[in-house]
Amino acid sequence: MKKQYLSLVMSFFIFACGGNAENIKTEKSAEIVEVTSKNKVQEIEIEEKEVNEIITEAKSENKTEEKAAPIIIVENSITEDIEEEVVEELVLAVTEFSKAKHEVWNSLTKKYVSTAGKVNYKGMKADLSKIKAYLLHLEKTVPKSTWSKNEKLAYWINLYNASTVYLIASNYPVKSITKINGGKPWDKKFIKSGSKVYSLNDIENTIVRPTFKDPRIHAALNCAAVSCPKLLNGAFLPASLNAQLDKQVRAWVNDVSKNKLSGNKVQISQIFDWYKVDFKGGVIAFLNKYNSTNIAVETKAKISYLEYNWALNE
């Protein structure tokens, strides 16, 4: 029963977004799970069949207050199967629906991503439950028309990056992202936002690129490869998003392992070739905008592209 406990709680909470905890206390059928300070849990005596029946009914009626979801009451504790931090993040995931909160992802990336963008995937795998909790929170906090442009873009970038890391960590050890899903990891539909399920390609090419039309996103969306612009060791935050994007681009453009700039010729990332349509003013103009060297790239400089290294960025 204990091994199934976390999945039961998560399953129920997926359908608890019709209101906050106060709104779903009204029905006698609500089960209450107490995590006590004595590290014990009053377990719910619900058979798997009953759980499935409740979930099915919640889906069809879309009225969680009529078939109330269980409520978690947390009192600074852990159980054998659920760490205290995970419980806290589960509570966060189901109680905050107005705006996305990125503290969990910010903490994970600061802990496991170096300033050079190298990722400790072994550590990420150990904290996979926290990544899941963060992704659950984003699933339940879908961007609204009232959100600012930066709030929306930060949401999609963080969702993309956290999902990429989740994909790698859940398959770790793996030598390259290209070894996942038959060599097509970007086509795997596993990312949830509201009632929709996306692939990495969906987020990048049907949402982020056409909606925001900002070439800087190519330095922010991370593909988990050595040749990809480095993963930010922190979450992208709406209040500082523009500064973060500029910093990411500048670091990428001036990284000699990814771009080699000179006056009359450049050897640059294949990203500039794959997505050249996104650089409206031209690739050379974009490079010069963020070029930190004293030598500007000439307008008619010869362009060649470096071979892409798909080895894991660890």
- pLDDT tens-digit profile of 83-108? 555 555 555 544 445 789 999 999 99
pLDDT class for 52, splitting at 50, 70, 90? very low
Alpha-carbon distance 71 to 85, whole Å? Answer: 17
Q: Give the pLDDT score at 210.
A: 98
Asked if residues 238 and 150 have their Cβ atoms less than 8 Å apart, the reply is yes
Q: 282: phi > 0 → left, psi -120 to 50 → alpha, else beta; which? A: left
pLDDT at 13 exceeding the cut of 70: no
- Residue type at position 134: Y
Q: Give the pLDDT score at 98.
A: 73
User: Given CA atoms 157, 118, 90, 85 in this order, what sign does their dihedral have?
Assistant: negative
Asked if residues 137 and 99 have their Cβ atoms less than 8 Å apart, the reply is no
DSSP line for 19-52:
S-GGGG-SSTT--EEEE-TTS-B------HHHHH
Q: 96: phi > 0 → left, psi -120 to 50 → alpha, else beta; which? A: beta
pLDDT at 220 exceeding the cut of 70: yes
pLDDT class for 71, splitting at 50, 70, 90? very low
pLDDT at 22 exceeding the cut of 50: no
What does pLDDT average to over the chain? 80
- pLDDT tens-digit profile of 124-168? 999 999 999 999 999 999 999 999 999 999 999 999 999 999 999
Instruction: List all residues 6 or more positions away from 18 whose beta carbon is below 8 Å from its beta carbon.
Output: 24, 62, 63, 64, 65
